[in-house]
Amino acid sequence: MLITKFNKPIVNVSNSIKSNILNTNDKVISEFISLKATISPGISANSYIEVEKLQKLLISRKDDIDCILKSQPVYAIGIDFQKNSTNPCIACWVAEPLDITILECLENMFEDQFEIYVDSIVNAEVINLGIVQDFNITASIWANTAPFEEDVGILNYEINVNGCGIGDMLSNNWPLLKRIGFGYFLHSIEVNISPIPEKKIRNFHPTGISQPTQSNREIEFLTANEKNINLQVGTSSGSIAGINGGIKKVHNTKFSSNEWKLSYKGPNTKGERWLYQYVDNNLDKDGSNRESFAPGPHSGQWLTKKEMQGFCITITQIVRCEVTHGWRRFLHQTKPKLLQLCPMMSHSLKITFNDLKDFNANLTKLNKTFYTNNDNIYINVGGNEVENINNDENQKIKNLNGEIKRSFVIL
């Protein structure tokens, strides 16, 4: 059974330039602040609904499927996900390639609504190698409040994400994974700040433009005219002379972008969100440019209504593996069984400030103590089941009205 280790995220909480390190695995901090970093399994609600529909369809056609696959080298037929897709597909696990006519019969059975993908069971063996990979999130948090008018206050904040890393990739130490691809590497990073509680009507209003802003791409349009002229001349044999030609306009679009694309969403009732995604896999063939990324500071100012009791900050890193080779034409975009054991995962850190009353004084008190703890969150990968080794559902620090939580989600 392979084990992936998630190092403790480090959060630097400060109301001044000089600040102390706040380790998210502390057992006790204060009522004022809470942190949560989570690791847990699951798929999206929409994907789950589609999986249920497809499962019922397979069960209803079981006899027909058995008839077609009789005497074929098929271990199982079931539901899988194509690479980078949330839509389920029908997959066959076989000992050797199926004849194209068998695949066509299966597709015809489902009226060509589904493509049938085939995967080999050769890479399905689970080996206990004791290999680990760690993921980490490091951030500095600064905030303060001030009165504005009756029942309205001002909240200033800055979230400096100065470290999102993955450690040594699992594939560097696991030859079986390296033969078909590489991972885990960073797929995306999201920074989110949201009010407490969330309302249908927004209980805060930004006073300006929060930073960083979503940049416009620099796009350059190029237009060219292409002329073609053909000339035919008469000869003694009686050929007819003729001239024909044409003009063709050619449009080219050229644009420049950062290596990590920033998408900003908000402000809305859920707050503000910054999402960073890598622009092109072709720029990074082996994941080495996606082993770490520091999005930097995110800041803004809100006018807060009395209905807003606090706020929370969530930093999430999505990590995944990439298949680069090792399947035949009929395995197009199908995840080998090995990558089903190493699925896309989400590692998040949530910092919650539960009360805006006496906020500045409570934040100052936090800087008077140094917090540390060496506990880690562990999760098994490479097995048939995902198991969190740590007895606690998630790591939690809680005292007074504050909390830090960590979580991990298999997507």
Structure confidence by residue, pLDDT tens digits, 66-76: 888 877 877 67
Residue 92: predicted pLDDT: 72
Confidence at residue 95, expressed as pLDDT on a 0 to 100 scale: 66
Which structure tokens are listed for 29? 């901090």
Report which of residues 216 and 265 the model is more confident about. 265
Q: What integer is the mean pLDDT of 27-47? A: 57
Q: Quick check: is 175 in a domain?
A: yes
pLDDT of residue 247: 55
**Mean predicted confidence (pLDDT) in 284-301:** 91
Q: pLDDT tens digits, residue range 103-153?
A: 778 777 877 666 555 443 322 233 446 677 888 888 888 899 999 999 999
| 383 within a domain of the structure (yes/no) | yes
In 3D space, the residue among 371, 25, 320 whose CA is nearest the CA of residue 182 turns out to be 320
Q: Could you give the CA distance from residue 388 to residue 129 in angstroms, rounded to a whole number?
A: 18
Mean pLDDT of the chain: 70
Task: Say what the pLDDT of residue 90 is.
Answer: 75
Asked if 383 and 35 count as a contact pair (C-beta separation under 8 A), the reply is no
In a domain, 217, yes or no: yes
Is 193 within a domain?
yes
Any domain includes 103:
no
The whole-number pLDDT of residue 218 equals 56
Q: How many domains does the chain contain in total?
A: 1
Whether 140 is in a domain gets the answer yes
- Using the 8-state DSSP alphabet, how is residue 276 labeled? E
| In the chain, % of residues over pLDDT 90 | 19
pLDDT-wise least confident of 77-86, 335-344, 372-381: 372-381
Concatenated DSSP letters of 218-245: EEEEEEEEEEEEEEE---TT-PPPEEEE
pLDDT at position 397 is 42
Domain assignment of residue 18, given as a range = 2-43+124-221+258-410
Residue 305 lies in a domain: yes
Q: Which two tokens stand for residue 311?
A: 């706020």
Q: pLDDT: is 92 or 182 the higher one? A: 182
| Cα gap 194→146, rounded to integer Å | 19
Lowest-confidence range among 114-128, 226-240, 273-287? 114-128
Cα separation of 27 and 398, whole Å? 7
- If you average pLDDT over each of 174-188, 265-279, 322-336, which comes out highest? 265-279
